[in-house]
Amino acid sequence: MNVYETICGDSRDLRQGDLLYPVAFARFSLTEALVVSPDSPQPKTTNLAKNFDSDQTQLVVNADRSYGMVINQSCDLSVRSNRERPILVARVTPCSKRIKGWAEKTSDKSRAKSVLELSNPGKHPAVFYLPEFVYGGTRVEPSVVDLLDMTTFVPKDIDALVQCRCIRLSAVALQALQERLAYCFGRFGAPDNFFLSETERAALGEE
């Protein structure tokens, strides 16, 4: 059973489960942000939670390059004037850098046990395992999609992201990703009546 499938021809669509490279992931500190304001060309450190006066203030961030995976549902990636949503891309990180003890697991048996553990949503709800894949002349070692490490792009960036596509998940693997997303972001839930007022609860005969 294949985990990946190639992208046919010159397909212009972007889909959930597409692997991209390169993707820029930016980070900055909210309390120690480096900004450039209109009245001063020199960057200065500021606390954005308390001081962000001008829409013209520019934020200076650190960015690094990584593989990424498209997380949006495919139907949300169609560009429509009345239905534009941010494009969500999660960071893809080699297991050797993300999973503790992975580098020491050199035998097939020990690696297999680790893969099975990563496949257990109860133990690793926020990551999705990707076996080694090769596209063109590039080999990517076993990795994980970090579902809690995402960046967003504006809808008009779709064409640029299409140019970054490497390979995509097969239908079966995509279903597994969707299940992991549902588990990761649906692990905790409020009681069904949490948002009801007292009078609304009383109307339904609830205490």
Please give, one letter per residue, the 3-state secondary structure of the chain: CCCEECCCCCCCCCCCCEEEEEEEEEECCCCCEEEEECCEEEEEEECCCCCCCCCCCEEECEEEEEEEEECCCHHHHCCCCCCCCCEEEEEEEEHHHHCCCHHHCCCHHHHHHHHHHHCCCCCCCCEEEECCEEECCEEECCEEEEEEEEEEECHHHHHHHHCCEEEEECHHHHHHHHHHHHHHHCCCCCCCCCCCCHHHHHHCCCC
Q: Look at residue 180 in the predicted model and tell me its pLDDT.
A: 95
Phi, psi of 96 (to 5 degrees): -60, -25
**Average pLDDT value for residue range 104-109:** 85
Mean pLDDT, rounded, of the chain: 86
Burial label, 120 (beta-carbon count in 10 A; 0-12, 13-18, 19+): exposed
Of 120-124, 133-137, 143-147, minimum mean pLDDT range: 133-137
CATH 3.30.565.10 fits 4-203, yes or no: no
Say which residue, 23 or 57, is predicted with more confidence.
23
Say which residue, 38 or 175, is predicted with more confidence.
175
Of 15-24, 77-86, 131-140, 175-184, minimum mean pLDDT range: 77-86
Q: Look at residue 116 in the predicted model and tell me its pLDDT.
A: 92
Portion of the chain with pLDDT greater than 90, in percent: 45
